[in-house]
Amino acid sequence: MSATAANLTAARRRNRTGGPDDGPKLLEHVMGWTLVVVVAMLITQLHLL
């Protein structure tokens, strides 16, 4: 078995494990920044900063 064939086999095996995909990275990024903004607004409204 060549190295390329071994890498393809390993890649296929990884894809079938049911782990998380690389899916919607943009959505995760936007939601993360939204959380940061909401926490910052909460901190300023409660006069903690």
18 dihedral zone (left: phi>0; alpha: psi -120 to 50; beta): left
pLDDT number for residue 24: 78
Question: CA–CA distance from 16 to each of 7, 32, 35, 38 (Å)?
Answer: 15, 28, 32, 37
Distance of CA 18 to the CA centre of its chain: 15
- Domain for residue 33, yes or no? yes
25 domain-assigned: yes
Answer whether residue 8 is part of any domain: no
Domain range enclosing 40: 21-49
* Any domain includes 45: yes
> Is residue 27 in some structural domain?
yes
In a domain, 46, yes or no: yes
Count the domains in the chain. Answer: 1
Tokens 């990275």 label which residue? 25
pLDDT band at 48 (very low <50, low <70, confident <90, very high): confident
pTM beyond 0.85: no
| pLDDT tens string 2-46 | 666 665 555 555 555 665 666 678 889 999 999 999 999 999 999
pLDDT at 1: 56
14 in helix, strand or coil? Answer: helix
Indicate whether 32 belongs to any domain: yes
